[in-house]
Amino acid sequence: MPHFKVQPDPAVLPRHKSSSTKRRKRPALGIIGGGQLARMMAQSGVSLGCDVIVLDPDPNAPAAAAATRSIHKAIRDLDALDELARSVDVVALENEFIDATILSELEVRGHCVLPGSETMRRVQDKLFQKNTIERAGLPLPPFASVSSRADVIAAGWRFGWPIVLKQRRDGYDGRGNATIRSAAEVDAAWARLDGARHPLYVEAFCPFVRELAVAITIAHDGSVARYPLVETVQQDHICHSVVAPAEVPEDVARRAGDVALRAVQAVGAAGTFAVELFLCEGGEVMVNEIAPRVHNSGHYTIDACECSQFENHIRALMGWPLGSTAMRAPAAAMVNLLGRGEGSGAPLGVAACLAVPEARLHLYGKSRTARGRKMGHVTATGATPEEALRAASLAASFIQFGDPS
């Protein structure tokens, strides 16, 4: 897909430092958080000649092995964040859990954090995110803010059951969500999500037929690199597999790409963002969620696209031209490697997996396994999505982390 430019929203114009004010002899990137997303960002950054410094309290965090060095402190420790920011040209984030006010404090101190505090404010609170998407005129399931069980019940009657009760902050992989099928289930859901302590909101349940996603990188000058539309399959609320390109009618793909681009514009994206979409029965595409970062649905790009979502994220943050999102093969598929139970971080079955010729194995180096924990992924390319998915699934089937409990 050709590059083109968008007019950045001035309210959220990323505050890039000009090269001359702060550029060190070697470009330096900081990353808050040291999980697998940071690890893969670090690998791209290092290949492009950057120093990459990761902030994470765990010395064995996945990104520690891939980064130039790590700062072993808490990610919400303002002094540690300041130490990180002072050592680099730009600070990246691997999750949306750092409060926007902390990012704002770093900006006030003159540091460059991307995405910035205003964008994070619009995205990290899912209710604010929904408001932003709605104000941009984009299609999304009905939603409502709720402050009590009574509000939830009222929303259920208004939207129709079932509804989904969600935490506004800090949810992921299905945590912080509760599907409610009737008024009778509201109390239990409210208690599970601890509505007294956590701000919640409600969405109408969207009877989607397929789930789609697209990664988009926005450069500081507004250039856009949009990745192929993919289809994602979740199991137990966790991403199981991704297929690229999504096999949907061309008009659906076009609308989905357009909706996604407008969504990331609306929040003032900088670098790579991902947009998750619902495809509904009537063919309507609705925005599900925006992730202000590289995303599981884009891991296939490492092996299947000219320039990965991770590398393009680095290019965008460093003020470099974006790379091509063209696919290297007609189709690709990624299958997640999830822990089956508790155990050490070392997998069984690597040899069998690697014996599958198309298998591109990525292990995250986590010290411990837990049930449902993302421990790695396998990507395969192929002549068709089915072929790619078959190979990736076969290869992934050999890998086992942990003992099923």
Residues forming contacts to its own copies in the complex (CB under 8 A) are 24-27, 43, 46-49, 51-52, 64-68, 306, 315, 319-321, 323-324, 328-329, 344-347, 350-351, 354-355, 357-365, 376
Nearest distance from C-beta of residue 289 to its own copies, angstroms: 28
Q: Are 245 and 228 in contact (CB under 8 A)?
A: yes
Nearest distance from C-beta of residue 332 to its own copies, angstroms: 12
Q: How far apart are CA 187 and CA 172, in angstroms?
A: 22
User: Which residue lies nearer to its own copies by CB, 38 or 266?
Assistant: 38
Closest among 331, 327, 309 to 381, alpha carbons compared: 331
Nearest distance from C-beta of residue 405 to its own copies, angstroms: 19
Nearest distance from C-beta of residue 24 to its own copies, angstroms: 8
Classify the C-alpha dihedral 189-277-34-23 as positive or negative: negative
User: Which residue lies nearer to its own copies by CB, 96 or 358?
Assistant: 358
Q: Are 136 and 262 in contact (CB under 8 A)?
A: yes
Nearest distance from C-beta of residue 90 to its own copies, angstroms: 15
User: Which residue lies nearer to its own copies by CB, 200 or 302?
Assistant: 302
Q: Report in angstroms the alpha-carbon separations of 101 from 121, 122, 375.
A: 8, 12, 31
Nearest distance from C-beta of residue 34 to its own copies, angstroms: 13
Nearest distance from C-beta of residue 221 to its own copies, angstroms: 11
What type of residue sits at position 269?
Answer: A
User: Which residue lies nearer to its own copies by CB, 71 or 133?
Assistant: 71
Structure token digits, residue 115 = 């995405």
Q: How far apart are CA 154 and CA 21, in angstroms?
A: 55
Strand arrangement of the beta sheet that strand 113-114 belongs to: 69-71, 51-55, 28-32, 90-93, 113-114
Nearest distance from C-beta of residue 380 to its own copies, angstroms: 10
Nearest distance from C-beta of residue 367 to its own copies, angstroms: 8
User: Which residue lies nearer to its own copies by CB, 236 or 403?
Assistant: 403
Closest among 364, 362, 366, 347 to 392, alpha carbons compared: 362
Nearest distance from C-beta of residue 75 to its own copies, angstroms: 21
User: Which residue lies nearer to its own copies by CB, 33 or 319?
Assistant: 319
User: Which residue lies nearer to its own copies by CB, 137 or 357?
Assistant: 357
